Amino acid sequence: MKWRFIIIILFLSLALRLYGINADLPNTYWHDENNYVETALRFGTGNLKPHTLQHGMLLPLILFAEYGAYYVKEKLTVDGYTPTDFLAEYVANPGPFYLLSRITVMLFGLGSILFVYLIAIKLYNKRVANISSLFFSFSLVPFIQSKWTKASAISVFFLLLALLTLIPIIANSRREKKSLLGRYVASGFFVGLASAAKLYSVFGFTFILLTHLFACRGNKERFFGRNLILSGTCLLLGFALGNPYAVVNPKFFLIGLTQMHGELFDATVTSPWLLYFKNHLKNVLGSRPLEVLILISCIFFVVKRSKKEMILLAYPVTLFLLYLRYSGLTHYLIPAVPFLVIIAGAFLDTVLKKASYSKAATFAVAVVIFVAVLPCFANILRYDVLISKPDTRTIAREWIEKNIPANSSILSEGYILTMPVQVPQLKSNTETLKRDLAMVREKGGRGALVGTEIEYAEKDKRNKRYDIYKTSIMDSDMLKKSKTDFVILSGYVEIDSGEREYLRGKDFYKERNKLYASLEEKYRLVKVFIPYPELGNNFPVLLTEDFRKLKSINPLRDTSRLLRGPKIKIYRRKNIQDDAK
């Protein structure tokens, strides 16, 4: 049966991705998820302005369409149902909204596995397709980011769809010129959509350029002709449809690009070339043997100058030379992975051909595949076990609601604007929400969502709510001015990511020591929640040191003591009495 292997791979991938997909809900501790979901909800109010250009608009648009379908269904079945009622559902229980967004991303991730299989089987054969899809389905970081609300899986999906559309041209299939034009148009459009999900996907146009170059050489046609021009035009069209605000307000888009250049292309990142070959390629795959296999495969085909493999390498090489060499984050390598694993599959197939498919060669290749995939699979199991365990922020919230009176004043760090991502997600009272509304409007927002929260909070008699003074990073001056009853500190604030060393320096830790000295004068530590293992401050995204810690987890031995999240410290003012234990 032709499809048996890929069907098994897809079902296994589905099971591994579904496990723990509801982790933490209805709490959400990753700011990217908040950003995507709440941006989609803001679209419903007519506000198409993205919070940041670091997150493309395609995923929020897809979520907006899904949420819109749900709203229409409720509108047709519930009398008097309004957009305010819809937002009130989100405020009351955001869990279903985030679960839908995660399932959406997961389906795009599964679709990408299928596309890897289809590309490999059309370019090579079933054997290469099986090996490539196996490698990609168990690559660690692509797996992780297809479990959460993140746009990487969507950008990869459309990049692979763009390449799949070009296969007949790459394979020199004899078709009418009109049919070939349609493929150039479609491929450019899909690269545009991929770019609307992740801006660096625009480098996917390089495999269109290289495919066209080889086609022109074979057919003795002009390079800068109708096919290439229309393909580039459709790339811009796809990007505009997936990121309409860039068209509506191009000035904002250009300013955002400048800001991204300053944040992502930082000269202080240590040895980015060495980082990618020493750590990131291994980490994104989850396997050192698979990394070695890919590097050997790439070197082999570069020396051989094979046309198909050159086209497959076009995007990863361009991505690395023009983008990744300046950035020190592992997950930016995700869109290169499917192209690299196809090359690795083609290399193993070439080895088998050279050995005339002998039993010894077949056995040796099978061993290589097993050795390459086993670490990936083990790390995926470790990660799934880890996210199935409680988070310190959830446990801390339960403790606070049990031990601290409602409407107590709390100074808490770990917020991104009004979003509590590094601390317990406590319910804000109306006074806090009014301050949040003022902040949102000061920054140019309409505050529709916060306004709905205020209305809901005024009627809410079930949940304990607190007067929370929110900040991203607390300092000693802030603490001296504070008159709050309680203080909450997050260990994530103190963690140096290890990939971007410039985020934390000596001055930061000097100021942190002053903060603790001030705390001892006015407050008393009443509770601490300590995670195991203590991972980086971008979890569920893994940073360099996190991969080493993940590898140290024994899913059979460590399950009872695993606890995710940051170290949470709760302090009480010395001159007040409470029942905290």
Residues 46, 446: Cα–Cα separation, whole Å:
10
Q: pLDDT value at position 443?
A: 82
pLDDT tens digits in sequence order for the chain, 581 residues long: 678 999 999 999 999 999 999 999 998 888 889 889 988 998 887 777 776 666 788 999 999 999 999 999 998 988 888 888 898 899 999 999 999 999 999 999 999 999 999 999 999 999 999 999 999 999 999 999 999 999 999 999 999 999 999 998 888 755 555 568 889 999 999 999 999 999 889 999 999 999 988 888 766 667 778 889 999 999 999 999 998 887 877 777 776 666 655 445 544 444 556 666 677 889 999 999 999 999 999 999 999 888 899 999 999 999 888 776 666 678 888 999 999 999 999 999 999 999 988 999 999 999 999 999 999 999 999 999 999 999 999 999 999 999 999 999 999 999 988 888 889 999 999 999 999 999 988 887 788 889 999 999 999 888 999 999 999 889 888 888 888 999 999 988 877 554 444 445 567 778 888 888 888 888 999 999 999 888 887 888 888 778 888 888 887 776 778 899 999 999 999 877 544 44
Query: First and final CA of the chain: distance in angstroms?
Result: 64
Q: pLDDT value at position 445?
A: 79
HEC readout, 254-300: HHHHHHHHHHHCCCCCCCHHHHHHHHHHHHHHCCHHHHHHHHHHHHH
Residues 283, 543: Cα–Cα separation, whole Å:
9
pLDDT tens column, 545-578: 788 888 888 877 767 788 999 999 999 998 775 4
On the CB side of 382, how many CA atoms lie within 13 Å of its CA? 22
Residues 457, 575: Cα–Cα separation, whole Å:
30
Residue 412 is encoded by which pair of tokens?
């808490």
CB atoms within 10 A of CB 361: 16
* Paired residues of 465 in beta bridges: 427
* Paired residues of 572 in beta bridges: 486, 524
Q: Checking DSSP bridges between strand 415-416 and strand 419-420, what pairing results, if any?
A: antiparallel
Q: pLDDT value at position 17?
A: 95
Each residue of 161-178: b (16+ CB within 10 Å) or e?
bbbbbbbebbeeeeeeee
Q: pLDDT value at position 498?
A: 47
Each residue of 92-114: b (16+ CB within 10 Å) or e?
eebeebbebbbbbbbbbbbbbbb
Residues 91, 451: Cα–Cα separation, whole Å:
10
The pTM for the full model equals: 0.90
- Do 143 and 380 touch, CB atoms closer than 8 A? yes
pLDDT tens column, 322-359: 776 666 678 888 999 999 999 999 999 999 999 988 99
Q: pLDDT value at position 367?
A: 96
Residue identified by tokens 């979901």 is: 37
- Do 245 and 48 touch, CB atoms closer than 8 A? yes
Residue identified by tokens 């296999």 is: 293
